[in-house]
Structures are given as structure tokens and as C-alpha cells.
Amino acid sequence: DTGVSQDPRHKITKRGQNVTFRCDPISEHNRLYWYRQTLGQGPEFLTYFQNEAQLEKSRLLSDRFSAERPKGSFSTLEIQRTEQGDSAMYLCASSPLGWSGGADTQYFGPGTRLTVL
């Protein structure tokens, strides 16, 4: 296991098209996070899964965004009817269950860079 992987690494699409990204977490990591990073900003939280359950979604995640994690393994993030403002780096991170009372360490993937023309 070489870490969190994401596919594709780059995606160029036209406005109005749908896109789907995939994240494969580190094996046996039951927590999975999606973040979005735009130029000059730090990553911003989008959504979080514990196993297959999506437990929290940011207000940044509009109705055009949907994420799934079937069977608690890989996850997909779909953006429908893309807009130019969706252009960003989409990062996935995974972590094991943290020890009692502590936040878990998140391991990040390389990201998927989306460009919407």
C-alpha cells in the first residue's frame, strides 16, 4: 500500500459537463475526507465519511456535488453541471480511527486538478 491514491490527476472539462473523481484510501482507514483547494488558499473541508456513512457535509458542497463511499472502501466525488468556479484541486485524505480523545492524523492523496473551461 503506497498511500492514498486519486484518479484522475488532471481533468479538463467544459462548463455544464459532469465529472467524477475517485479516491482510494489507505487500506483499513475507515475515515475519509474530501477537501477543495483554490489558488492561494489552504484546503477547505467538503465532506467526511466514517466507513460508508457520510457524516458531515460543508456548506461549500452545493446540490451539484455528491459523494459516496460504497462498502466503506474507495470514494467518489461527482460534480454535476460544472461551473468555472468549480476549478480547483480536489484533495482526498484518509485516517484510521483516532485514539480516544485525539484527532486522527490525515494522510493526503496527490489531488485531482479540475479545470472548467
Query: Taking the complex as a whole, how short is the minimal distance between the CB of residue 80 and other proteins, in angstroms?
Result: 24
> CB under 8 A: which stretch of 7-15, 17-25, 45-53, 63-71 binds other proteins?
45-53
C-alpha cell belonging to residue 108: 493526503
Contacts of residues 46-51 at CB distance under 8 Å and 24 or more positions apart, as own/partner, are 46/77, 46/90, 47/77, 49/75
By CB under 8 A, residue 68 contacts other proteins: no
Looking at residues 81 to 100 of the shown chain, list those that interact with other proteins (rule: CB under 8 A): 91, 93, 95, 98
By C-alpha distance, which of 48, 86, 96, 89 is closest to 68?
48
Cell numbers that stand for 58 in this block: 460543508
Binding site for other proteins (CB under 8 A): 3-4, 31, 33, 35, 40-45, 48, 50, 55-56, 91, 93, 95, 98, 101-111
